[in-house]
Structure formats: structure tokens, C-alpha cells
């Protein structure tokens, strides 16, 4: 898979520094300075991109609108950048399908580590994973990043929803600590007041038609984490 990253930031100096840093680490980088230029670059290189980095604050739109636009057309991983310390912004971004969220100012090495973690989970760094995971009438396709339900309806999974479900089906029957799930899906641990994983679990249960009050697939283990209780069949093609 390609290692091409599209970055949108309205600060010229930030764009230049980020481009130089990522290219030094063997990534190909495309730049945009506002929503309009981002749209043009995204449509031109959509099928080649391995990652998108979005600044939330832009002169003609915001990163939330761009993330929603991306998710209607692509499952490419997204990292959002923001100077806001408000948890609401971060949760909204994740709910829209962003894979990760980083506050400004940030250390470029931390951004690089998160890029590598996302690429590693997506198969960019170390090769593609097993393709199909089948359970309870559902099929997760890790190449197309789609989920087919027992009726045959197929939906595109985006951002953290895909990463979380993929990790759960790879570890059926195991009690998975919240910190483990956060590390595997976000590349970092959660803060003590961070409920974004719980919101994501709830959304995933809805996709799997799993009763939130008495879940049968993704069960809560009080004081320990979560367990994916279905039997999973794995195939590569």
C-alpha cells in the first residue's frame, strides 16, 4: 500500500515543517491550506491516500465538515488536529469517523508515532491482515473495511469503528481491558474522564444489533473491560 498523506492546515509555516518532517521519514505528502484546496487534492488523490491529517480550524470550513465529507466517499484513516482543549470537539471528531485526535501544540514525533500506529493497523507498514472474519451471520471484510449483516446488507465501516471491531474479532473470548483497546485503536491510553471508548462501544453494539442493556456479542466485564463472546471464523480469501 502507498504511504501518501494529505495534510490540510491554514498555517503556511506549519504545513512546510510538517511536510519536511514527514518526507524525511519516507512519506509522500500533499498539502492543502483550506477546505476548497483540500477538496480538490482529496478528489484527485483519493484512491492513493493512506492517511489524511485535518486541522479543525480553517478559514472557509472546519475539519469536522471535511471529515464527514471524507467518510461519505472513503475509509482512509483520519487524524484531526485542534488547538481546543474541549473534550466535546475530540468526541465529535471521533464520532464522525476520525481515527485519532491530537491537540496543538504537538510534538512531531508523537504525530509520527500515531501515523505509524494507524498504518500498522491498516496493513501499510507490515502487510495486509487476514481478510474475512465471520460471526453470528455477520462478515467483516478487512480489505474493503465493510461489515455485512445477516440480511446481506453491507455498510462501510469508518475510522475507529473498524479498528475496534477488527481487534475484537481477532481476540474472541478474551477479556480486553479499556487501556488495551485504547492502545490498539488509538495508539495511546485514555484519560480518567475520557468516555470516548464507551461511546464507540455503544455505537458498535447498535451496528451489530446487540442489545445495549443486555448485550450478547460485546459484553461488559465490570471492573475489567469488554469481551467479544461470539465464535469467529477467519479466512484469507
Question: How far is C-alpha 119 from the chain's CA centre?
Answer: 10
Q: Please say whether the beta carbons of 30 and 4 come within 8 A.
A: yes
* CATH code, 132-235: 1.10.10.10
Domain 3-122 has CATH 3.40.50.2300: yes
Which residue ranges in the chain fall short of pLDDT 50?
1
With 0-12 CB in 10 A as exposed, 13-18 as middle and 19+ as buried, what is 204?
Answer: buried
141-186 pLDDT, tens digit per residue, is 988 889 999 999 999 887 788 889 998 998 888 888 888 888 777 7
Q: Please say whether the beta carbons of 205 and 217 come within 8 A.
A: yes
32-51 pLDDT, tens digit per residue, is 999 999 999 999 998 889 89
Q: Please say whether the beta carbons of 42 and 6 come within 8 A.
A: yes
Domain boundaries, the chain: 3-122, 132-235
Amino acid at each position: 500500500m502507498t504511504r501518501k498523506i494529505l495534510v490540510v492546515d491554514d498555517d503556511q509555516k506549519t504545513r512546510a515543517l510538517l511536510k519536511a518532517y514527514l518526507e524525511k521519514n519516507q512519506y509522500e505528502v500533499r498539502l492543502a491550506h483550506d477546505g476548497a484546496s483540500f477538496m480538490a487534492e482529496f478528489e484527485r488523490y483519493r484512491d492513493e491516500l493512506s492517511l489524511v491529517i485535518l486541522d479543525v480550524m480553517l478559514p472557509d470550513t472546519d475539519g469536522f465538515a471535511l471529515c464527514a465529507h471524507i467518510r461519505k466517499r472513503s475509509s482512509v484513516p483520519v487524524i484531526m488536529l485542534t488547538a481546543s482543549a474541549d473534550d466535546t470537539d475530540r468526541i465529535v471528531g471521533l464520532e464522525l469517523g476520525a481515527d485519532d485526535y491530537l491537540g496543538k501544540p504537538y510534538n512531531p514525533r508523537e504525530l509520527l508515532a500515531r501515523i505509524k500506529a494507524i498504518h500498522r493497523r491498516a496493513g501499510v507498514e507490515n502487510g495486509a491482515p487476514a481478510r474475512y472474519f465471520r460471526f453470528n451471520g455477520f462478515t467483516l471484510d478487512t480489505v474493503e473495511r465493510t461489515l455485512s449483516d445477516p440480511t446481506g446488507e453491507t455498510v462501510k465501516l469508518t475510522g475507529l469503528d473498524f479498528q475496534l471491531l477488527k481487534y475484537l474479532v481477532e481476540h474472541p473470548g478474551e477479556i480486553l481491558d479499556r487501556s488495551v483497546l485504547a492502545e490498539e485503536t488509538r495508539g495511546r491510553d485514555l484519560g480518567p474522564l475520557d468516555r470516548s471508548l464507551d461511546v464507540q462501544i455503544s455505537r458498535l453494539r447498535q451496528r451489530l444489533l446487540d442489545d445495549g442493556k443486555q448485550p450478547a456479542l460485546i459484553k461488559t466485564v465490570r471492573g475489567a473491560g469488554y469481551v467479544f463472546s461470539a465464535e469467529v471464523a477467519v479466512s484469507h480469501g
